[in-house]
Homo-oligomer: A and B are copies of this chain.
Amino acid sequence: MPGRTIGDIAKRTGTRAETIRYYERIGLLPAPARTGGNYRAYDEGHLGRLSFIRRARDLGFPLDAVRELLSLADRRDRSCAAVDAIARQHLAEVERKIADLGVLRDELAGIIGQCRQGTIADCRIIEALAPHPPGGTTRLNRPDRCAER
């Protein structure tokens, strides 16, 4: 047989077959040859490229960045400054997210720590979310019928 099946490279790279077809559809992975029965037949080049995509994704690079990294990887004589820039930008993004989530965690932990396990009426968590009622009892307006589908 003249190549690997999609299930084979899926197993080898830890990627689902649907995802591989998706990568082909969006032009990230080149369309492979087909067998007589219309099965995709991948070669080593595909396997390498898919591994690359997979590792980049595991490192959290968005697909656009992966696309750029792939096209940069092909120009072996060029400077890798562009590669460095993409990676640094992603690192900065990851660090920003960590910082944001840290703030969130502290806020949440602070709110939860105040909960005395009483009734909802004096629950600190609800209180932290509800707009502090000036008159004492601001009713939250709830939907009478759910508009879902």
Contact = CB atoms under 8 A, between A and B. Distances in A.
Interface of A: 24-31, 43-49, 51-52, 55-56, 59-60, 69-81, 83-84, 87-88, 90-91, 94-95, 97-98, 101-102, 104-105, 107-109, 111-112, 115, 117-121, 123, 125-126, 128-131, 133, 138-148
Given A45-B139, A69-B126, A98-B102, 5 more contacts: A48-B130, A51-B130, A52-B129, A60-B108, A79-B120
Contacts of A88: 112
Contacts of A140: 45, 48-49, 52, 70, 73-74
A105 B91 contact: yes
Name A's interface SS. Answer: helix
Given A55-B128, A55-B129, A98-B101, A115 B30 contact: no
Contacts of A79: 117-120
B81 A108 contact: no
B94 A108 contact: yes
A80 B115 contact: yes
